Structure 1
Amino acid sequence: MKRISFIILISGILLFLLINRWVDYKAKELTDVLHAEDIIDVSYTYVPQGSDQFENKELGNPQALKELLEFLSQYQVKKTGLRDFESQYPDEQLNLHFIYEDGIPTYSSLFERDVVLVVLTGENQYKVINGPLDQEWVEEFKKKYLMGGNGQ
């Protein structure tokens, strides 16, 4: 009887782990992965022309945040694992630091064409299923809200 109980317990644990992994690696909306409903602001990390120092520019505009989250909501992503990423398109990167209402510190998340690195509880890499990200939209957004029209 103990042996059967032990086998049932181990089987239940394995089943739970397999289901958990399947849920973690199935396709999801990008905004679900980012927990967009809890985001209250975003800062943009960039290197100004002629400098080797990173700078951050906080968005500070609720309408712009809404536009950004609506843009990101159109993309589906699938987790590919932990970070195993080398930039293929460095000119098409968008580094964003999400600020959440609960005050939990987060690190920058990197968006590049068809790869998203999200750092919330770990450094996870996602493939954009219905990508690539619309770089024209990204550049227009940066010019309009983040770079004040100077195009850095």
Structure 2
Amino acid sequence: MKKKNFKNVFIGIVVILFLLFIFKNFNDYREGNLADLIIYEQEILFGLGFAEGSNKSPRSNWKSTWLEDDKETVEKLIDFLSQYQVKKINSKQYDEEFNQKDKSVEEEIFEFEILHKGNTGTSMYLLGDRIHIRNKGYYDVLNGPIDSDWLSDFFKKIYERNKE
């Protein structure tokens, strides 16, 4: 009798774990809002790092800047990104899409990092209609590409303000 109970409990646990795995996978790969993927806690914000470059230039040549404790700028960026819907893709899909791109065409790449006291936050790379969020994965922008002109103007304003 004990063996039968143990077997039933074991099967029950396996079924529950399987269902949790399926639910997590379904939840991870459903369509969602880009802003919802960004970790931002206003009370413990440390700063915002921003860099702009291209697929044709080495990372060392990118223009970058850092702002400390600028909640208004971070919120403006998150508000802009909230207009985009994304869907998670696996790294193989991301690599295939990247490799199919015409490498002779120069594309702007934007990187930003929202950092909190205690080293939490979000680090994100934006390239047209593809996004890589460090420690979260790869995403396709469903209603993109992301407006690179807006991001470039946004960055220029930050950079100029920070130079003063």
**Contact 1:46 1:95 survives alignment (8 Å):** yes
- For 1:3-152, list aligned pairs within 5 A: 3-37=7-41, 40=45, 41-46=47-52, 53=60, 56-60=64-68, 61-82=70-91, 84-85=94-95, 86=98, 88=101, 90-104=106-120, 108-119=123-134, 122=135, 124-146=137-159, 148=160
TM-score of the aligned structures, taking structure 2 as reference length: 0.71
Mark the CA change 1:65 to 1:143 in structure 2 (over 3 Å): closer, same or farther: same
**Contact 1:79 1:125 survives alignment (8 Å):** yes
* The structure with more helix, counted as a fraction of residues: 2
SS in 2 for 1:66: helix
TM-score of the aligned structures, taking structure 1 as reference length: 0.76
Mark the CA change 1:52 to 1:29 in structure 2 (over 3 Å): closer, same or farther: closer
Give, as a single letter, the amino acid of the residue that structure 1 aligns with 2:72.
Answer: Q
Q: Tell me how large the CA RMSD over aligned residues is.
A: 3.0
**Contact 2:52 2:109 survives alignment (8 Å):** no
**Contact 1:94 1:110 survives alignment (8 Å):** yes
Would you say how many aligned residue pairs link Structure 1 and Structure 2?
144
How far did 1:46 drift? 4.3
Gaps of 5+ in 2: none
Mark the CA change 1:33 to 1:123 in structure 2 (over 3 Å): closer, same or farther: closer
Residue by residue over 1:104-152, the C-alpha shift from the partner in whole angstroms, topping out at 9 and shown as x without a partner, is: 376x421111111001xx2610111221101221121122223x28xxx
Residue by residue over 1:61-115, the C-alpha shift from the partner in whole angstroms, topping out at 9 and shown as x without a partner, is: 4332221111011112111123744374653211112212432376x42111111
Q: Highest Rg: 1 or 2?
A: 2
Give, as a single letter, the amino acid of the residue that structure 2 aligns with 1:9.
Answer: I
Q: Distance in 2 between matches of 1:73 and 1:142?
A: 17
SS in 2 for 1:23: helix
